[in-house]
Chain A
Amino acid sequence: MVARKPHILGKPFPRVEGQSKLTGAFRYVDDIGFDSDLLHVRLLHSPHAHARILNIDASAAQSLPGVHVVITGRDIEGRLGMNLHDRRVLAKDRVRYVGEPVAAIAAESPEIAEHAVELIRVEYEPLPGVFTVEASVADGATLIHPELETYARGEFVFPAPGTNVNQNCYFSQGNLEKGWANAAVVLERTYRSPHVHHVSMEPHGGVAQLEADGTVTMWASTQAPFLQRHLISQALGLAPDQLRVITWGVGGGFGGKVLVSIEAIVVALALRAGGRPVKLVLSRSEEFTSTFVRPGLVARIKMGAGADGRLTAVEAHYSWDCGASGDATADIAWATAYVGTGPYRIPNLQITSRSVYTNHPPSGQMRGNGMAEVHWAIEQHIDALARKLGWDAVAFRLHNAVKGGDLILDGRVMHATGLDQCIRHAADAIWSAKTMGRRPAAHKRRGKGLAAMWNAVILRAQSESFASVELTPEGVCLIGIGGVDVGQGVYTLAVQLAASELGLSPDRVQVSPIDTGASPQEWQGQSSHLTLSTGNAILKAAHAAKGQILEFVAGGWNEPIGNLDIVEASVISYASERSIALTALLSEGMVMTDGTRQRRGFRGEGRFTPPKATMPVAGGQPIPPVLHFTVGAMATEVEVDSETGEVKVLRAASAFDVGNAINPDIVRSQIRGGAMQGLSVALLEHLIYDDGVPLNATFLDYRLATIQDLPQSLEPIIVEVPQDTGPYGARGVGEHSLIPAAPAVANAVYDAVGVRVETLPITGERVWQAMNVNFDAEEREPARNLPASTSS
Chain B
Amino acid sequence: MTYRIDITVNGQAQQLEVEPQHTLLRVLRERLGLTGAKNACATGECGACSVLVNGELVTACLVLVVECHEAEVVTIEGLAQTDETMAALQQAFLDHNGAQCGFCTSGMLMSAAALLKRTSRPDEEEIRANLVGNLCRCTGYADIIKSVQVASRMRRTEH
A residues within 8 Å of B by Cβ? 14-15, 17-19, 21-28, 30-31, 33, 199-203, 249-252, 254, 281, 283-284, 486-489, 665-666, 668-669, 672-677, 698-700, 704-708, 710, 714
B37 to chain A, nearest CB (A): 7
- Contact in complex: A24, B80 (CB < 8 Å): yes
A23 touching B140 in the complex, CB below 8 Å, given contacts A18-B99, A700-B45: no
B134: A residues at CB distance < 8 A: 707
- Measured CB to CB, the nearest residue on chain B to A737 is B140
- Contact in complex: B103, A252 (CB < 8 Å): yes
A495 to chain B, nearest CB (A): 15
Q: Does B53 contact A (CB under 8 A)?
A: no
- Measured CB to CB, the nearest residue on chain B to A668 is B97
Most buried by B among A31, A672, A707, A708: A707
A672 touching B142 in the complex, CB below 8 Å, given contacts A19-B94, A666-B97, A706-B132: yes
Complex CA–CA separation, A672 to B97 (angstroms): 11
Contact digits for B77-88, partner A, Cβ 8 Å, 1 yes 0 no: 100100000000
Complex CA–CA separation, A254 to B137 (angstroms): 10
- Contact in complex: B94, A24 (CB < 8 Å): no
Q: Does B23 contact A (CB under 8 A)?
A: no
- Contact in complex: A707, B137 (CB < 8 Å): no
B21 to chain A, nearest CB (A): 9
Q: For the complex of A and B, list the 6 residue pairs with the smallest distance between their C-beta atoms, beginning with the closest.
A: A24-B36, A676-B140, A487-B101, A251-B103, A21-B102, A487-B100
- Contact in complex: A707, B80 (CB < 8 Å): no
- From 104 to 159 in chain B, residues with beta carbon under 8 angstroms from any chain A beta carbon are 104-106, 109, 127-129, 131-145
A62 to chain B, nearest CB (A): 25
Q: Does B33 contact A (CB under 8 A)?
A: yes
Contact digits for B37-49, partner A, Cβ 8 Å, 1 yes 0 no: 1111111011010
- Contact in complex: B46, A699 (CB < 8 Å): yes
- Contact in complex: A23, B35 (CB < 8 Å): no
A selection of 14 A-B contacts at a CB cut-off of 8 Å is: A18-B94, A19-B94, A24-B37, A24-B106, A201-B38, A201-B48, A250-B101, A251-B101, A254-B137, A487-B102, A677-B140, A699-B45, A705-B141, A710-B128
B residues within 8 Å of A by Cβ? 29, 33-43, 45-46, 48, 75-77, 80, 89-90, 93-95, 97, 99-106, 109, 127-129, 131-145
- Contact in complex: B40, A284 (CB < 8 Å): yes
Q: Which of A31, A201, A249 contacts B137 (CB 8 A)?
A: A201
- Contact in complex: B137, A199 (CB < 8 Å): yes
Q: Which of B101, B109, B135 contacts A699 (CB 8 A)?
A: B135
- Contact in complex: B42, A283 (CB < 8 Å): yes
A698 touching B45 in the complex, CB below 8 Å, given contacts A24-B76, A249-B102, A254-B137: yes
A675: B residues at CB distance < 8 A: 140
- Contact in complex: A707, B45 (CB < 8 Å): no
B97: A residues at CB distance < 8 A: 15, 665-666, 668-669
A23: B residues at CB distance < 8 A: 36, 76-77, 80, 90
- Contact in complex: A24, B103 (CB < 8 Å): no
Total CB contacts across the A-B interface at under 8 A: 155
Complex CA–CA separation, A251 to B45 (angstroms): 17
Complex CA–CA separation, A710 to B29 (angstroms): 32
A708 touching B132 in the complex, CB below 8 Å, given contacts A22-B80, A201-B137: yes
A202 to chain B, nearest CB (A): 4
A575 to chain B, nearest CB (A): 42
A674: B residues at CB distance < 8 A: 140
- Contact in complex: A708, B128 (CB < 8 Å): yes
Complex CA–CA separation, A203 to B140 (angstroms): 19
A699: B residues at CB distance < 8 A: 41, 43, 45-46, 135
- Contact in complex: B90, A22 (CB < 8 Å): yes
B39 to chain A, nearest CB (A): 7
Q: Which of B35, B43, B137, B142 contacts A284 (CB 8 A)?
A: B43
Most buried by A among B33, B89, B106, B145: B106
A201 touching B100 in the complex, CB below 8 Å, given contacts A14-B94, A22-B105, A676-B141: no
B41: A residues at CB distance < 8 A: 284, 698-699
- Measured CB to CB, the nearest residue on chain A to B102 is A21
- Contact in complex: A201, B103 (CB < 8 Å): yes
Complex CA–CA separation, A672 to B100 (angstroms): 12
- Measured CB to CB, the nearest residue on chain B to A700 is B45
Complex CA–CA separation, A566 to B123 (angstroms): 48
- Contact in complex: A673, B135 (CB < 8 Å): no
B135: A residues at CB distance < 8 A: 201, 699, 704, 706
- Measured CB to CB, the nearest residue on chain B to A709 is B141
Complex CA–CA separation, A486 to B95 (angstroms): 19
Complex CA–CA separation, A27 to B36 (angstroms): 8
A509 to chain B, nearest CB (A): 18
Complex CA–CA separation, A673 to B99 (angstroms): 11
New A-B contacts (19) at CB < 8 Å, excluding given A251-B101, A673-B139: A14-B94, A21-B102, A23-B76, A24-B75, A28-B103, A201-B104, A202-B101, A249-B102, A250-B101, A254-B137, A281-B39, A283-B42, A284-B41, A665-B97, A674-B140, A699-B46, A700-B43, A700-B45, A707-B134
- Measured CB to CB, the nearest residue on chain A to B75 is A24
A707 touching B144 in the complex, CB below 8 Å, given contacts A202-B38, A698-B43: yes
- Contact in complex: B101, A252 (CB < 8 Å): yes
- Measured CB to CB, the nearest residue on chain B to A33 is B33
